[in-house]
Amino acid sequence: MLCKFKKMQGIGNDFVLIDSFSEPLVLTTEQIKHIANRNFGVGCDQVLLLEPPKDDESDVYYRIFNSDGSEVSQCGNGARCSAIYLYDKGLVKKQKMIAETKSGKLVLKINKDNSVTVNMGIPKFEPKDIPINYEKKMKNYSLRLNSENIEFGAVSIGNPHAIIFVDDIELTSIEKIAIKIQQDKIFPEGVNVSFVQILDRKKIKLRVFERGVGETLSCGSGACASVVVASQRGGLEENVEAELRGGVLKLSWAGEGKPIFMNGPVSTVYDGEIEL
């Protein structure tokens, strides 16, 4: 089977987008892993399958597959790429659209500068919503890793996130700590782990280790989660820039019970075909 795709990226977080509007497409786990393989396939952090909406309110049903073949509920940078893809192909003829995911609906808005703003929804802090195996919500959770206690905040932005604050993210052994947290049974569905350095009240710097992928140049939901948890600790203003290895995202959060908004650029890398 020959599969057409578009390779896109949002500040270094790269995706293979596949149109399943005109012809329904079912991909196996092995096919997804092959597409995502950087040596033998196309290579990407996630494969995005864009399907017709399941209700009259939505414009697209947006499915996200990690490079290990697992399907996940949320990807903010992928949503931004999807908006440009859908509009440019004429599949959606308006610049403000609704994308349905496994975890809910996202409102996407294409701006005049061709950046995309995403309403990522209202962050959830209750343990059952993250999910994390704790009976009650806490500001700081703790895990014993080897001889060290690791403290972190936890939140769901449609997917689970653990946020660890550090003085210098370049001096942090992100992979070693992230893997241990991800393997712990405290997170029954796994977790994305962000290491956050607060530069000032309007800017943070972070590195993100995504479940099923590893460290990525950028993670939109990870940036949202980091801003939310840092803001709850009184460390940030409402409008914040998040500096990731692939570039900068702009985020805005008015506080608990309010949705968080993310804005950033996207670009097309190339169009192609792959034999599956």
Q: Where are the alpha helices (DSSP H) in the chain?
A: 29-36, 76-88, 174-183, 220-232
Contact present, 210 and 222 (Cβ < 8 Å): yes
∠ Cα 93 99 101 (to 5°): 155
Q: Annotated catalytic residue: which of 44, 75, 81, 224?
A: 75
CA max distance for the chain: 56
Alpha carbons 152 and 55: distance in angstroms, whole number: 38
**DSSP structure string for 169-197:** GGGS-HHHHHHHHHHSTTSTT--EEEEEE
Q: Annotated catalytic residue: which of 44, 81, 219, 224?
A: 219
3 an active-site residue?
no
Alpha carbons 66 and 223: distance in angstroms, whole number: 18
Contact present, 242 and 229 (Cβ < 8 Å): no
224 an active-site residue?
no
CB-side exposure of 138: number of CA atoms within 13 Å? Answer: 14
Beta bridge partners of 229: none
191: left (phi over 0), alpha (psi -120 to 50) or beta: beta
Alpha carbons 4 and 6: distance in angstroms, whole number: 7
Tokens of 5: 């795709």
The catalytic site residues sit at 75, 219
